[in-house]
């Protein structure tokens, strides 16, 4: 589901665990089908998409609207089907269901499991996403609901349309009163495309001229219906808001061949290859991994590794470290496809710093033995440094980047912090970290040993500012190159840990920030 924001082009697709995080802008006031009323009768083809992972932030678990096109096929928006861990275009979901033919998202109608999804476009497609925001979802078992047809042609300007959905009535997702469980609808018209400034080719501009009748947040995927041959037909699917207050719908009629080719089985896209992302941890804007040292015992509480700048609350100040603080962070550990294999909870922040290196260690409420029994992948921390030329795999939550250590940088400075012996990667399509990839483990070729941790890249080419790290050589020369990515060494960590997964900064060989100097 796309979040309604002040700028459609900056709108964030809410796909928890998928790719990099986007900057969320302030949400517009929203009402479920703005200017609409509660439906008095059910539409057999109208349905609510309710994925259990990632779960929508509503008590009824409604995420998007769907429309039944055939007994085992429902139509929705591509960004709704983008709620899969790896952002795949085509694949097999887990824990997705739809409820169709009911006025209420919580009861009635028919409930069916989704066992496949096919997205017409994703945000990374060269052909563009806007105007192609459509997806088909295949149901494991047929539903008895009477399907709706695809309209025979694009509706002309001022054509009457009916819109419907269970969108938000206010912006507080934690307030159940903002989440209507009863279907709402409104009759409005297709406006000239010129009246929707954000519109792209292949979209319909729908709603009243002043925006007093329109769709809203969590109406995504729902239909715009027209009368065609005396019956309802679907002409559009909610894609997102226009800055005018009206709603932009993807024109379904322009993609009837693609839809029918899949439904009839004559032109079905192959599944996307899914990278093995087992063991990755989605921390909501950062990544992490469960690690053990050579001395860790099975009965020891497991440790989670991420960046110091990824801690909840205030970051460690320059020159300092946070040691042994309470925590309460959920830790979902992914299976091969990115769905949670098991979940633990971070009980203590053992250590965090952004000086000398950029790391944080959390102690979990489960032991290594417990996590192993639950099928979680556990990584090993290296005891040797990364050197120039070493191959690296960046273990992000939705993909694996193939990188190479191009150089080990004497000092890396960024926004008042300095790290030492940082790892600079070769740049290219195969190694392209972005916002949200912070905390990703850097793996050795065995795929199990963590030799480093990704922490930053230079976004704008600026020198030593936030999000623009610069290199400082032994002679003091400063270098700043846009696009360069960097990671941190992790080999010093093991020397500072004792049994029970506890930190001892006074141990012989411990050299992390805050360590007790030894003669």
Domains and CATH numbers, the chain: 8-20+29-263 (2.40.10.10), 280-503 (2.40.10.10)
Q: Which carries the bigger pLDDT value, residue 2 or residue 38?
A: 38
The Cα–Cα gap between 296 and 371 comes to: 14
Mean pLDDT of 413-428: 95
Kindly report the average pLDDT of the chain as a whole number: 91
Pairing outcome for strands 247-251 and 231-241: antiparallel
pLDDT of 175 above 90: no
The pLDDT-based confidence of 222 (bands split at 50, 70, 90) is very high
User: What's the pLDDT score for residue 84?
Assistant: 87
Per-residue model confidence (pLDDT) at position 242: 96
Q: What band does 178 get if pLDDT is binned at 50, 70 and 90?
A: confident
How much is the pLDDT for 15? 31
Task: Give the count of beta carbons closer than 10 Å to the beta carbon of residue 208.
Answer: 16
Q: Report whether pLDDT(13) > 50.
A: no
List the structure tokens of 269: 């896209």
List the one residue out of 204, 129, 202 whose CA is nearest residue 159. Answer: 204
Q: pLDDT tens digit string along 273-325?
A: 989 999 999 999 999 999 999 999 999 999 999 999 999 999 999 999 999 99
- Render pLDDT for 452-499 as a digit per residue (tens, 0 to 9): 999 999 999 999 999 999 999 999 999 999 999 999 999 999 999 999
> Cβ contacts of residue 64 below 8 Å, gap of 6+?
1, 48, 49, 76, 77, 80, 218, 220, 221, 222
pLDDT at 127: 82
pLDDT score for 169: 82
Q: How far apart are CA 362 and CA 345, in angstroms?
A: 9
With a pLDDT cut of 70, the percent of the chain lying above it is: 93
SS (H, E, C) 381-395: ECCCCCCCCCEEEEE
Quick one: pLDDT at residue 518?
A: 54
Tell me what the mean pLDDT of segment 168-174 comes to: 78
Spatial CA neighbour of 217 closest among 178, 252, 268, 185: 178
Mean pLDDT within 60-82: 96
pLDDT over 50 at 268, yes or no = yes
- Tell me if 12 sits within 8 A of 24, measured CB to CB: yes
pLDDT at 519: 53
Predicted structure pTM score:
0.82
Please list, residue by residue across 398-436, b when 16 or more beta carbons sit within 10 angstroms of its beta carbon and e when fewer do.
bbbbebbbbbbbebbbbeebbbebbbbbbbeeebebeeb
């Amino acid at each position: 589901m796309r979040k309604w924001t002040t700028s459609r082009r900056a709108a964030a697709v809410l796909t928890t665990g998928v790719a990099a995080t986007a900057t969320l802008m302030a949400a517009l006031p929203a009402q479920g089908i703005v200017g609409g009323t509660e439906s008095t009768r059910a539409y057999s083809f109208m349905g609510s998409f309710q994925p259990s992972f990632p779960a929508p932030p509503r008590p009824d678990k409604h995420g998007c609207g769907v429309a039944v096109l055939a007994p085992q096929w429902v139509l929705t928006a591509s960004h709704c089907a983008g709620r899969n861990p790896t952002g795949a275009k085509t694949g097999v979901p887990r824990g997705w269901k739809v409820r169709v033919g009911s006025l209420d998202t919580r009861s009635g109608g028919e409930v069916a499991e989704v066992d496949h999804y096919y997205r017409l476009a994703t945000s990374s497609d060269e052909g563009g996403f806007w105007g192609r925001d459509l997806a088909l979802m295949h149901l494991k078992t047929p539903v008895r609901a009477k399907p709706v047809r695809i309209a025979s042609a694009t509706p002309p300007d001022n054509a009457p349309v009916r819109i419907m959905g269970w969108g938000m009535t206010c912006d507080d997702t934690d307030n159940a009163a903002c989440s209507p469980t009863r279907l709402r609808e409104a009759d409005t018209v297709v406006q000239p495309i010129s009246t929707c400034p954000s519109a792209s080719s292949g979209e319909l501009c729908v709603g009243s001229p002043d925006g007093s009748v329109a769709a809203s947040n969590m109406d995504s995927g729902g239909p715009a219906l027209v009368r065609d041959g005396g019956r309802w037909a679907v002409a559009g699917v909610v894609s997102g808001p226009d800055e005018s207050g009206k709603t932009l719908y993807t024109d379904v009629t322009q993609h009837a061949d693609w839809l029918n080719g899949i439904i009839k089985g004559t032109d079905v896209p192959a599944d996307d290859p899914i990278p093995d992302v087992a063991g990755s941890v989605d921390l909501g804007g950062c990544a992490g991994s469960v690690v053990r040292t050579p001395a860790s015992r099975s009965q020891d509480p497991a440790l989670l590794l991420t960046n110091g700048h990824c801690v909840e609350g205030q970051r460690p100040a320059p020159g300092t470290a946070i040691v042994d603080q309470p925590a309460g962070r959920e830790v979902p550990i992914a299976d091969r496809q990115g769905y949670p294999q098991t979940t633990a909870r971070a009980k203590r922040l053992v250590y965090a710093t952004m000086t000398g290196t950029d790391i944080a260690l959390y102690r979990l409420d489960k032991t290594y033995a417990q996590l192993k029994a639950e099928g979680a992948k556990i990584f090993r921390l290296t005891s040797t440094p990364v050197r120039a030329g070493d191959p690296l795999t960046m273990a992000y939550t939705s993909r694996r980047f193939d990188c190479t250590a191009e150089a080990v940088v004497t000092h890396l400075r960024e926004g008042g912090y300095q790290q030492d012996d940082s790892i600079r990667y070769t740049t290219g399509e195969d190694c392209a970290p972005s916002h949200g990839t912070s905390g990703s483990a850097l793996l050795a070729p065995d795929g199990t040993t963590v030799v480093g941790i990704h922490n930053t890249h230079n976004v704008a080419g600026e020198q030593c500012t936030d999000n623009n790290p610069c290199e400082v050589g032994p002679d003091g020369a400063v270098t700043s190159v846009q696009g360069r990515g960097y990671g941190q060494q992790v080999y010093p960590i093991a020397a500072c840990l004792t049994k029970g997964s506890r930190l001892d900064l006074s141990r012989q060989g411990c050299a992390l920030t805050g360590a007790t100097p030894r003669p």
